[in-house]
Amino acid sequence: MVSQVTVLVPNYNGAVYLRECLESIVAQTFADWELVVGDNASTDASLSIVASMADRRIRTVRRPRTIGWVANVNLLLAEASTPYVAILHADDWWQPAFLETTVAMLQAAPRSLVATCAGRVVRAGRAAESVGLFQAWPVSLGSTCPAGEVARLLTRRNLMPSATVLARAELYRRFPRYEPALPLLGDWLMWLRAGATTDFEVTDSVLANYRMHAANQSASAEANNLWAMDVLRVGRILQAEWAGTAAPYPGAAKAIAAAIANDLLERAALRMERGEYETARLLARLAWATAPTAGQRMLARLGELLGRFRQPLAGMARRVKPAMQRSLM
């Protein structure tokens, strides 16, 4: 008998956190699932951890060589033959009611392709915080966030870590799979494309845990400035797709350009506060090239000049942020 949900766990040398991830799936109150671990040629104890789970619903697909996160996930999607699909990274984990809640949400809303909960962001040495689409679409408005509005609310930033999402398998048939050129923000692009034309179901229940740590992809990418490059690529892709009558809401192409410029400006300001002037100058130059408003271009030019002359500007991020927010109004 075919299960209702396929859970896909991409893993590369994730043994430190993998058991907690897998145990959180086994502990789900909704038991009609199958789990496929896509092991990306790990050299640690990952495979023995999976084998020790001794659950017939769990199987492993092992890559003969490391192929990268995007390629691994896209191949894993071909393993799913169930109505619903979830992608859970090996360092993240769920609360026991995640699948029960999100499956019920989609069953109650046949037009919606995605159900998303609140996620707890966990960082060592810092208090946990919650993130989710509920921050922009309060549950008082109802559980269904309509097509177009989803895209508008997610334009400024990605509020939906992958761990917070259960999708109909149709999502991955209707929209392009994860972009190889976007190893960091492919999920944001997926939600924006889908949210342009389909409804999402939203809950503010904290049912997923998203772990930030020094070894994960996001942390290393931020340090190497790769995150900003992916932000820029997302903006360029959507500006082209949302031009003219294809816009999911009025002014969508300009809004995504403004959001990308804001992101780059904020990153430039933070780098300048750290004394990383060359990087700050590069980010400011990219923001200037992207910015659709005169105010943003002025801020970008200021950042580039400050970076060129290497003048410390304590508190720049705090002063730039209100200006960035006003530029979107």
pLDDT, tens digit (0-9, with 9 covering 90-100), for 288-311: 999 999 999 998 888 777 666 554
Q: Tell me the pLDDT tens digit for each residue of 257-268.
A: 999 999 999 988
Q: Do 209 and 229 lie in a common domain? A: no
Domain boundary among 213, 240, 257: 213
Q: Would you state the pLDDT for residue 325?
A: 44
| One domain for residues 209 and 222 | no
CATH number for the domain harbouring residue 121: 3.90.550.10
Query: Residue 213: which pLDDT band, with cuts at 50, 70 and 90?
Result: low
pTM, 2 dp: 0.89
- Asked whether the CA dihedral 228, 230, 231, 236 is positive or negative, the reply is positive
pLDDT tens profile 178-187: 998 898 899 9
Could you give phi then psi for residue 167, rounded to 5 degrees?
Answer: -125, 155
| 235 shares a domain with 249 | yes
Question: Closest by alpha carbon to 234, among 268, 212, 259?
Answer: 259
Token duo for residue 238: 């959507």
How does DSSP classify residue 276?
A: -
Low-confidence winner among 42-51, 124-133, 189-198, 250-259 (lowest mean pLDDT)? 124-133
Pick the range with the lowest mean pLDDT from 28-32, 64-68, 90-94, 272-276: 272-276
Same structural domain for residues 177 and 234?
no
- pLDDT higher than 90, residue 2: no
Q: What is the distance between the alpha carbons of residues 310 and 278, in angstroms, rounded to a whole number?
A: 8
* Residue 1 confidence class, pLDDT cut points 50, 70, 90: low
On the question of pLDDT at 316 being above 50, the answer is no
Q: How many domains does the chain have?
A: 2
Do 193 and 46 share a domain, yes or no? Answer: yes
Domain boundary among 174, 194, 213: 213
> Same domain, yes or no, for 117 and 41?
yes
Same domain, 233 and 304: yes
Q: Are residues 203 and 229 in the same domain?
A: no
Looking at 155, 187, 213, the residue that finishes a domain is 213
Specify whether 232 is located in the same domain as 190. no
- Residue 88's domain comprises 5-213
Verify that 208 and 273 share a domain, yes or no: no
Residues 162 and 67 in one domain: yes
Confidence of residue 245 (pLDDT cuts 50, 70, 90): confident
Same domain, 287 and 188: no
